[in-house]
Amino acid sequence: MQRIGVFVCHCGSNIAATVDVAKVAEMALMEPGVVHAEDYQYMCSEAGQAKIAEAVHEKNLTGVVVCSCSPRMHEATFRKAAERAGLNPYMVEIANIREHCSWIHKDMEEATKKAVILMRAAVAKVNLNTPLKEGESRVTKRALVIGGGIAGIQTALDIADAGYEVDIVEKTPSIGGRMSQLDKTFPTLDCSACILTPKMVEAAAHEKITIYTYSEVEKVSGFVGEFTVDIRKKARHVDMDKCTGCGVCQEKCPSKKAPSEFNRGLNKRSAIYTPFAQAIPNVPVIDCDNCIKFKTGKCGICAKVCQAGAIDYEQQDEILTEKYGAIVVATGFDTINLEKYDEYAYSQSPDVITSLELERVMNAAGPTHGHLERLSDGKAPKEMVFIQCVGSRCSDDRGKSYCSKICCMYTAKHAMLIRDKYPDVNVTVFYIDVRTPGKNFDEFYRRAVEQYGVNYIKGQVGKVIPQPDGKLLVQASDLLDNQQILKEADMVVLATAIEPNPDVRKIATMLTASIDTNNFLTEAHAKLRPVESPTAGIFLSGVCQGPKDIPETVAQAGAAAVKAVGLLAKDKLMTNPCTAHADELLCNGCSTCENVCPYGAITYEEKEVNDHGIREVRRIANVNNALCQGCGACTVACPSGAMDLKGFSNRQIIAEVDAICR
Amino acid sequence: MSIEKKEFRPKIVAFCCNWCSYAGADLAGSSRLGYPADVKIIRVPCSCRVNPMFILRAFEKGADGVIMCGCHPGDCHYSTGNYYARRRMTLLFSMLDYIGVENGRTRVEWVSAAEGVKFSDTMNEFVEKIYSLGENVRLGDLRCRS
Amino acid sequence: MGSEKKQAEMIREISGVNPLKCMKCGKCSATCPSFNEMDIKPHQFVSYVINEDIESLVNSKSLWKCLSCFACVERCPRDVKPGKLIDAARQLVVRQKGQDYLSADEIPELLDPELPQQLLVSAFRRYRR
């Protein structure tokens, strides 16, 4: 039997004005297990807490009930007070007689009655409380960053600068990501490569950073502080240590028919290639699908011309297994597939391009060497039309329901750059709304209109019709003039919606990180914890969490790094003791709990149990206390009633129900 | 023990999840938004912790109404808990209705931590409904009745 | 106005369209082949229904100029489908014009033994008073 002390707080007059606190204390003494009851002005004060300690010592209390304000307010205070007095902190329960009683009821008799019932429920619960102990788990002082774009690079640099080891896993042959494909960046028009490459070099040279390019995360197990990750290093067929990056192999490669991923398929590359000149590492890979040697067995020119002898056709994929304390997801984005938008004639005319393709066209290293020209006939355009919100803000199944956020600004940037470099080209932008919330963003957009004479028309484009003479007829509306416009253009640029990298769903499943219907990773709290996943130890960086531009991505990358460092800096983690646990005699090994657990905290293991003298090996649910957050989903799902939640056990809640209905 | 006809005061059990609805109830309190004293709140970590057994137990012990409050769909602190709760309660409530515990006696409501007004309005409405339905005679353990 | 409110309600019901979903992008007007023939432009249909000004919509040239090509329905990014709205307005007119066309008393003299019963029932459904 417990020895319980009940402490009723007056909270000045907040409680005492409507609840007869002395009566509550008096009634408490009639409850089973209660050996001490008193009321006091302010239980949360030093003196009030001293009263708890005193009673614990004098009356040898094993449990404490404080009838006071909401547990969300002072549960921690009273638990600490009890702990100082030598009691297990989880032997303290609060009866909320302020927010749930004195403040909402006016009649003293009624409020007192209710307060007594709430006190009874708390006493009934404490009677069944057991001392709980916070668990401890180790922290591996190493972080994994998935994705090597600007978000991943920045996160890795920040973590590494704080003194921790970081690994970057990048799927493509080079780090750099989307930002490396951009020509200029808004709103200051810096050259993208000029500001990105130093960061890439810094990351590659950093002694704390290891970069695995052309690699993918294959399997993740473990939990916060102790993740075990399998990384597949895909066969490059080029020895990273021997290759000098001279580039002769790429020049001599006879197969030059593969569309260049880096240039968005606008031109071709060789079968052995580095995505772009500044690639890091500057080591090519062989694309086996296009390599003549791999397809027919006859070629091997690259091996012949390589003076370093780095080509290795026999190389196999390699699986690395590493341990990490924290994982940052920075998987970035891609533009949506425009297949369903045939009204814009994207697949019919090479002169209808996406904005990302225009970035490559404008770039000196791009397919046109930086000359603005039509991809069909190489002629310089005279009329350019930009269409905004292609696939964004759609409620149908063709596009995305969200605003892609960056398009208004990059369209203004493109329009401005074109007008600056080619003043004789007319630029028309069809927009629905121009959204420029950002520092110096609206000024930038106004500059495009006022200084560069870009023609902005409010109204969406209905159709782009390729003409026999190669021109494009753009049919649009001008909502402010209430006119329908037919405009001949030489090039049409589509501000295509962005979507999270399609691989992110696979990665989220491996990490048990939650993901929304648009494939964006969900943050732990939309406002207060925007860079953390609800799954402990997983952090979010960049567009994988939601559309954002470069400055925001870099800011979020830094925030994610700080959160990861905050975790890595700990020697050990204290875990919430209110976790689920399975009664091994009742568990029938059905896996129902494993399926409902949102954290992947439940695994099954073969365990020898002693069932009333019969020793046998059974398949039994095992809860990982470091992963379990204590939601209790499994406790209800369990068909045999084997699962229970510490601190909120079935018996405790039923005791509360009974006390209330008594 | 005197046998006199007492005025009907319902017993109502409210299960509130710790993260949204319990905080919503706290907000109703600190905003002084009143609701009848017949409602007693039990704090659970998440609406998915509410075992149908608890609700049956409440009716067995003489409760006249049971209401469960959780975070709004999509806002669950544990990401998916309230979806489980919603499915369980849909089944439980239709079964309870079938065995004579009217649908009006059971309710699920999503109340966020910012919805003090909604919490108190919901409770007022629910209690009124229970008053109109009267005492619950089904499921009760006769040994509990005095 | 009361009846117009009801008419707006009916247009919503017949078309199955929620005009409040419109984000005023103008893609419907951009894509409409009979735009120049219309006095009320396709993107404006929505606001007429929202403002419950059905009288103007029903009396507009646009009502009968719409080709029902459904280009706007196909391309509307917000599932608002102005073409469906105007089609619903037309149905409203047709239904009104057809009011009290047929009463139960008139049926015996219209009866023809050759007439399929099904046709009679459906005619009565459509044209009953």
- Chain CA centroid to CA A367, Å: 34
Q: Average pLDDT for residues A517-533, to the nearest whole number?
A: 87
Mind listing the pLDDT tens digit for each residue in A590-621?
999 999 998 889 999 999 999 888 999 999 99
Q: Average pLDDT for residues C75-98, to the nearest whole number?
A: 84
Is the pLDDT reported for residue A180 higher than 90? yes
Q: Provide the 8-state DSSP code for A543.
A: G
Task: Please state which of the ranges A143-157, A628-642, C82-96 shows the lowest mean pLDDT.
Answer: C82-96
C-alpha distance from A485 to closest chain C C-alpha (Å): 7
Tokens 């009683």 map to which residue? A101
Is the pLDDT reported for residue A385 higher than 50? yes
Beta carbon pairs, A and B, within 8 Å = 131
Q: Residue A10 and residue A661: Cα distance in Å, rounded?
A: 26
Q: Residue C32 and residue C68: Cα distance in Å, rounded?
A: 10
Q: What is the pLDDT of residue B75?
A: 76
Mark whether B and A touch (3+ CB pairs within 8 Å): yes
Task: Please state which of the ranges A171-175, A357-361, A449-453, C115-119 shows the lowest mean pLDDT.
Answer: C115-119
Q: What is the pLDDT of residue C97?
A: 62
Look at residue A337 and give its three-state secondary structure: coil
Q: Average pLDDT for residues A344-371, to the nearest whole number?
A: 95
Assigned token pair, A328 = 């940052």
Question: In this complex, do C76 and A396 lie within 8 Å of one another by their Cβ atoms?
Answer: yes
Amino acid letter for position C85: L
* Of the candidates C66, C64, C59, the residue with the CA atom closest to the CA atom of residue C43: C66
User: Residue C9: phi, psi to the nearest 5?
Assistant: -60, -40
Mark whether C and A touch (3+ CB pairs within 8 Å): yes
Pairing of strands A426-431, A538-540: unpaired
Is the pLDDT reported for residue A305 higher than 70? yes
Q: Can you give A342-398 as a three-state secondary structure string? A: HHHCCCCCCCEEEHHHHHHHHCCCCCCCCCCCCCCCCCCCCEEEEEEEECCCCCCCC
Interface test with A, best of C17, C18, C29, C74 (most A CBs within 10 A): C29
Looking at every residue in chain A, the average pLDDT score rounds to 94
Pairing of strands A483-489, A352-354: unpaired
For residue C110, what pLDDT band results from cuts at 50, 70 and 90? low
Is the pLDDT reported for residue C99 higher than 60? no
Instruction: Work out the end-to-end distance of chain A between its first and last CA atoms, rounded to an integer number of angstroms.
Output: 21
Pairing of strands A272-273, A285-286: antiparallel
Mind listing the pLDDT tens digit for each residue in A328-351?
999 999 999 999 999 999 999 999
Assigned token pair, A56 = 């614990």
Cβ B21 vs Cβ B71: under 8 Å: yes
Q: Residue A163 and residue A74: Cα distance in Å, rounded?
A: 37
Q: Percentages helix, strand, coil for chain A, rounded to the nearest 5?
A: 30, 25, 45
Smallest CA–CA distance from B44 into chain A, residue:
A648
* Of the candidates B72, B55, B59, B57, the residue with the CA atom closest to the CA atom of residue B19: B72
Extract long-range pairs of A20-24: CB within 8 Å, 24+ residues apart: A20/A108, A20/A112, A21/A67, A21/A115, A23/A112, A23/A116, A24/A67, A24/A97, A24/A112, A24/A115, A24/A116, A24/A119
CB-nearest to C75 from A432, A458, A462 is A462
Smallest CA–CA distance from A654 into chain B, residue:
B54
Q: Provide the 8-state DSSP code for A247.
A: -
For residue C115, what pLDDT band results from cuts at 50, 70 and 90? low
Percent of chain A with pLDDT over 70: 100
Q: What is the pLDDT of residue A457?
A: 96
Assigned token pair, A160 = 């590494």
Beta carbon pairs, A and C, within 8 Å = 72
User: Residue B55: phi, psi to the nearest 5?
Assistant: -70, -40
Is the pLDDT reported for residue C127 higher than 80? no
Q: Average pLDDT for residues C76-81, to the nearest whole number?
A: 91
In the sheet with A226-233, reading across from the earlier edge strand, the strands are: A215-223, A226-233, A318-324
Q: What is the CA radius of gyration of chain C?
A: 18
Contacts of A457 in chain C (CB under 8 A): none
Look at residue B80 and give its three-state secondary structure: coil
Q: Residue A8 and residue A659: Cα distance in Å, rounded?
A: 18
C-alpha atoms less than 13 angstroms from C-alpha of A274 in its C-beta half-sphere: 23
Cβ A293 vs Cβ A312: under 8 Å: no
Q: What is the pLDDT of residue A529?
A: 87
Of residues C92 and A252, which shows the higher confidence score?
A: A252
Contacts of C27 in chain A (CB under 8 A): 460-462, 477
Tokens 């269409």 map to which residue? A387
Other Cβ atoms less than 10 A from the Cβ of B100: the count is: 10
Question: In this complex, do B48 and A514 lie within 8 Å of one another by their Cβ atoms?
Answer: no
Is the pLDDT reported for residue A645 higher than 60? yes
Q: What is the pLDDT of residue A514?
A: 79
The model carries a pTM of: 0.77
Q: H or E element: which one contains A8?
A: strand A4-9
Q: Provide the 8-state DSSP code for A98.
A: I
Q: What is the signed CA dihedral for A241, A242, A243, A244, rounded to 10 degrees?
A: 100
Task: Please state which of the ranges A240-244, B31-35, B76-80, B86-90 shows the lowest mean pLDDT.
Answer: B76-80
Provide CB contacts within 8 A for A357, sequence distance 6+.
A264, A266
C-alpha distance from C72 to closest chain A C-alpha (Å): 8
Smallest CA–CA distance from C81 into chain A, residue:
A396
Interface test with C, best of A408, A480, A482, A484 (most C CBs within 10 A): A484
Pairing of strands B106-110, B65-70: parallel
Contacts of C78 in chain A (CB under 8 A): 393-396
* Of the candidates A608, A594, A571, the residue with the CA atom closest to the CA atom of residue A642: A594
Cβ A367 vs Cβ A361: under 8 Å: yes
Contacts of A98 in chain B (CB under 8 A): 29
Q: Which chains border C (3 or more CB–CB pairs < 8 Å)?
A: A
Amino acid letter for position A523: E
Assigned token pair, A82 = 């009890």
Q: What is the pLDDT of residue A649?
A: 95
Q: What is the pLDDT of residue C1?
A: 41
C-alpha atoms less than 13 angstroms from C-alpha of A353 in its C-beta half-sphere: 24
C-alpha atoms less than 13 angstroms from C-alpha of A298 in its C-beta half-sphere: 1
- All domains in chain B, ordered by first residue: 12-144 (3.40.50)
Is the pLDDT reported for residue C104 higher than 90? no
ipTM of the complex: 0.95
CB-nearest to B40 from A98, A117, A534 is A117
Assigned token pair, C25 = 């992008």
Q: What is the pLDDT of residue A462?
A: 94
Question: In this complex, do A459 and C30 lie within 8 Å of one another by their Cβ atoms?
Answer: yes
Per-window interface: A 472-501 vs B, CB < 8 A: none
Q: Residue A647 and residue B81: Cα distance in Å, rounded?
A: 18
Look at residue A315 and give its three-state secondary structure: coil
For residue A209, what pLDDT band results from cuts at 50, 70 and 90? very high
Provide CB contacts within 8 A for A69, sequence distance 6+.
A9, A11, A14, A44, A94, A96, A98, A99
Cβ C35 vs Cβ A459: under 8 Å: no
Mind listing the pLDDT tens digit for each residue in A101-132?
999 999 999 999 999 999 999 999 999 999 99
Is the pLDDT reported for residue B5 higher than 80? no
Q: Provide the 8-state DSSP code for A101.
A: I
Contacts of C43 in chain A (CB under 8 A): 477, 479
Look at residue A192 and give its three-state secondary structure: helix
Is the pLDDT reported for residue B80 higher than 70? yes
Cβ A224 vs Cβ A627: under 8 Å: yes
Q: Residue B125 and residue B117: Cα distance in Å, rounded?
A: 12
Look at residue A17 and give its three-state secondary structure: coil
Q: What is the pLDDT of residue B2?
A: 47
Q: What is the pLDDT of residue C116?
A: 59
Other Cβ atoms less than 10 A from the Cβ of A309: the count is: 10
The conformational region for residue A60 under phi > 0 = left, psi -120 to 50 = alpha, else beta, is left
Cβ A126 vs Cβ A48: under 8 Å: no
Cβ A323 vs Cβ A381: under 8 Å: no
Is the pLDDT reported for residue B1 higher than 50? no
